[in-house]
């Protein structure tokens, strides 16, 4: 018979076992009921390796479905160092095929605690075939997409580029990244307790969803014409930079947009940020005399000035508002029509004083200046248009000729298209539609008409005036044989750091449309700091001429269009 002390000890032992059993049951209940997912996840990590399957990035195509950016499938090499039988020997065999130092490959293969390391991404197919033939345990190959730009620098500032993981970094590659990139898939590989592969790579697979295709308004052929002509002028006049926009004035579709300097998106790492900047939308400048198109439209629209009204241009020198205005050539009395065609600063200043600040400001805003165009590109700036209460005393004479305002090239294309299409502001746009890989249209876009800016009557008068700029005025170098063109030249002094206007640095430009009777093209050409001769009529107008001749000939052949011929006799 147990003594009292013995019974107490037995009771204590039994109680202890019961407490331990209860704790174990409580722990099992916690693991099985309350926290099962947590431990299942840990087990899955130990026994399953997950590999992401990248989708194929969607193509970027021109309006005729010609490729501007496509994705190729290349092979990448990775390894599981935990299952390398002889890492040193493997490094020696792999290094020359990967075009890497043996020491670098060896360091990657000896990382035993890592279950996955990239050895090389997107290698040539012949190297991949040789590595595959080696059958090295722990070394695997997988297909990955590689972005390729088949036209090199053509339209590079529009398209932009994507990085190693095909994520859009600049241009439309960045803006449309969510559409283009698609969604990744996944593949699971089973492993035993010793982390040895079991089963096949296709143990469980979720296939990737490839990206969508983006179709642009750009025409690759017209883009080539524009870039060729711009590049010739940029090199000939040793300009700091240059931009061109070719637009369908009826719809606002951008047919071509280019800048110089340019870059090859296939080797974007070799270019500087300066080369990659899309100057047509990011760079602001004082437009100079091309802005007289706005002044002329306001003058005619308010009916305060008629084409035949005469203005004394003071023989090239006119003191007003505390400063002296000059013309590039001395003129006496001229009609308003001649004031514009000969680009008289004095005549335009007198017109503006007749209009008043409020009318001029409202006209600028009606043309869309002072706000971004809203094109599908990042980095666009809206420019500066000061309200009349912020004008200085000379502003009424300087703003009408394109000083004290800043614009970008795209805004000028929007402006001249208003004149070319009958007086309506149509927003520039780049993306026509989005398609899946089977060619089915997922989303399509249409022209964006904002408002009427000038009446059809005023538009007709303005077109005739701008046609005289080309036939009789400062834009003679823009003439196209057999067709009437209209436009305006500009030569704007740039500001020096001290706030004074430079006498050595200029922005030369030309804005135009063709043919006058039924314009099919609006073109803006800008050269930043060209060497002498730096006048817009000399360096920019010939670019318009070359692009117009080549593009209209191409459109005649492509669309079988018939343009109204002009008898130059």
Q: What is the pLDDT of residues 320-371, one digit of tens each?
A: 988 899 998 999 999 999 999 999 999 999 999 999 999 999 999 999 999 9
For residue 289, what are the CA distances in angstroms to 21, 242, 349?
94, 18, 12
Alpha-carbon distance 514 to 512, whole Å?
A: 7
Nearest to 554 by CA among 245, 250, 220: 220
User: Which helix (H) or strand (E) is 555 found in, with range?
Assistant: helix 541-559
Beta-strand pair 310-312/317-320: unpaired
CATH topology of domain 220-559: Beta-lactamase (3.40.710)
Q: Which of 156, 289, 344, 395 is catalytic?
A: 289
Which pLDDT score, from 0 to 100, does residue 510 have?
98
Instruction: Report CA-CA distances (Å) from 68 to 59, 63, 351, 437, 562.
Output: 8, 10, 47, 16, 30
CATH architecture, domain 50-216: Alpha-Beta Complex (3.90)
pTM higher than the cut 0.85? no
CB 255 within 8 A of CB 246: yes
In what side-by-side order are the strands of the sheet with 241-247? Answer: 254-260, 241-247, 521-528, 501-514, 486-495
In the chain, domain spans:
50-216, 220-559
For residue 322, the model assigns a pLDDT of 84
For 132-143, letters b (16+ CB in 10 Å) and e give eeeebebbbeee
Six-digit token string for 434: 């989005």
Q: How far apart are CA 470 and CA 485, in angstroms?
A: 7
Q: By C-alpha distance, which of 418, 405, 368, 402 is closest to 490? A: 402
List phi, psi (to 5°) of 311.
-135, 135
Question: Mean pLDDT across the chain, nearest whole number?
Answer: 90
Angle at 19 between CA 13 and CA 21, to 5 degrees: 100
pLDDT in tens, 435-446: 998 899 999 999
pLDDT in tens, the chain (569 residues): 667 777 777 777 777 777 787 777 777 776 666 666 665 665 555 556 666 777 889 999 999 999 999 998 888 888 888 777 888 888 888 989 888 998 888 888 887 666 678 888 888 888 888 888 988 888 888 877 789 999 999 999 999 999 877 889 999 999 999 999 998 887 666 655 555 555 544 456 778 889 999 999 999 999 999 999 999 999 999 999 999 999 999 999 999 999 999 999 999 999 999 999 999 999 999 999 999 999 999 999 999 999 999 999 999 999 998 889 999 899 999 999 999 999 999 999 999 999 999 999 999 999 999 999 999 999 999 999 999 999 999 999 999 999 999 999 999 999 999 999 999 999 999 999 999 988 999 999 999 999 999 999 999 999 999 999 999 999 999 999 999 999 999 999 999 999 899 999 999 999 999 999 999 999 999 999 999 999 999 999 999 999 999 999 999 988 777 666 655 44
Please give the Cα distance from 466 to 475 (Å, whole number): 9
Query: Known catalytic residue: 456?
Result: no
Would you state the structure tokens that stand for residue 359, as one six-digit string? Answer: 């009318």
């Amino acid at each position: 018979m147990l003594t009292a002390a013995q019974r107490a000890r037995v009771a204590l032992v039994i109680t202890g076992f019961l407490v331990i059993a209860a704790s174990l049951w409580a722990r099992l209940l916690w693991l099985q009921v309350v926290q099962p997912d947590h431990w299942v996840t840990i087990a899955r990590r130990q026994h399953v390796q997950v590999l992401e399957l990248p989708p194929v990035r969607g193509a970027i195509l021109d309006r005729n479905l010609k490729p501007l950016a496509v994705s190729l499938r290349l092979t990448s090499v990775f390894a599981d160092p935990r299952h390398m039988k002889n890492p040193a020997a493997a490094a020696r065999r792999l290094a020359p095929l990967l075009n890497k130092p043996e020491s670098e490959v060896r360091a990657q293969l000896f990382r035993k605690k890592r279950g996955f390391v990239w050895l090389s991404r997107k290698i040539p197919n012949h190297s991949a075939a040789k590595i595959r033939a080696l059958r090295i345990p722990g070394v695997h190959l997988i297909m990955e997409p590689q972005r390729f730009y088949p036209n090199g620098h053509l339209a590079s500032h529009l398209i932009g580029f994507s990085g190693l993981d095909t994520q859009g970094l600049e241009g439309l590659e960045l803006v449309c990244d969510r559409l283009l990139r698609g969604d990744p898939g996944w593949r699971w590989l089973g492993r035993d307790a010793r982390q040895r592969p079991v089963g096949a790579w296709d143990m469980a697979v979720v296939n990737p969803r490839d990206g969508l295709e983006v179709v642009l308004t750009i025409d690759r052929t017209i883009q080539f014409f524009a870039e060729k002509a711009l590049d010739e002028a940029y090199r000939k006049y040793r300009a700091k930079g240059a931009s061109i926009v070719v637009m369908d004035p009826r719809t606002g579709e951008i047919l071509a947009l280019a800048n110089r300097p340019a870059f090859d998106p296939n080797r974007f790492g070799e270019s500087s940020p300066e080369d990659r900047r899309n100057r047509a939308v990011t760079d602001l400048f004082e437009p100079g005399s091309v802005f007289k198109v706005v002044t002329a439209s306001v003058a005619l629209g308010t009916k305060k000035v008629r084409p035949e009204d005469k203005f004394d241009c003071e023989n090239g020198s006119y003191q007003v508002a505390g400063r002296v205005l000059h013309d590039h050539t001395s003129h006496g009395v001229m009609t308003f029509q001649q004031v514009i065609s000969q680009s008289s600063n004095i005549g335009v200043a007198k017109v503006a004083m007749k209009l008043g600040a409020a009318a001029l400001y409202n006209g600028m805003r009606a043309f869309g200046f002072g706000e971004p165009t809203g094109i599908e590109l990042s980095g666009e700036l809206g420019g500066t248009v000061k309200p009349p209460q912020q004008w200085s005393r000379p502003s009424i004479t300087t703003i009408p000729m394109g000083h004290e305002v800043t614009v970008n090239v795209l805004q000028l294309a929007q402006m001249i298209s208003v004149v070319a299409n009958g007086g309506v502001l149509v927003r520039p746009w780049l993306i026509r539609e989005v398609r899946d890989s089977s060619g089915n249209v997922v989303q399509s876009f249409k022209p964006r008409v904002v408002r009427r800016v000038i009446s059809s009557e005023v538009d007709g008068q303005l077109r005739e005036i701008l046609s005289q700029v080309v036939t009789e005025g400062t834009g003679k170098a823009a003439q196209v044989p057999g067709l009437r063109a209209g436009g305006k030249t500009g030569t704007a002094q740039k500001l020096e750091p001290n706030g004074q206007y430079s006498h050595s640095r200029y922005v030369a430009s030309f804005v135009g449309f063709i043919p006058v009777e039924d314009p099919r093209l609006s073109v803006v050409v800008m050269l930043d700091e060209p060497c002498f001769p730096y006048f817009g009529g000399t360096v920019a107008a010939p670019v318009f001429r070359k692009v117009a001749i080549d593009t209209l000939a191409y459109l005649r052949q492509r669309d079988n269009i018939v343009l109204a011929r002009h008898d130059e006799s």
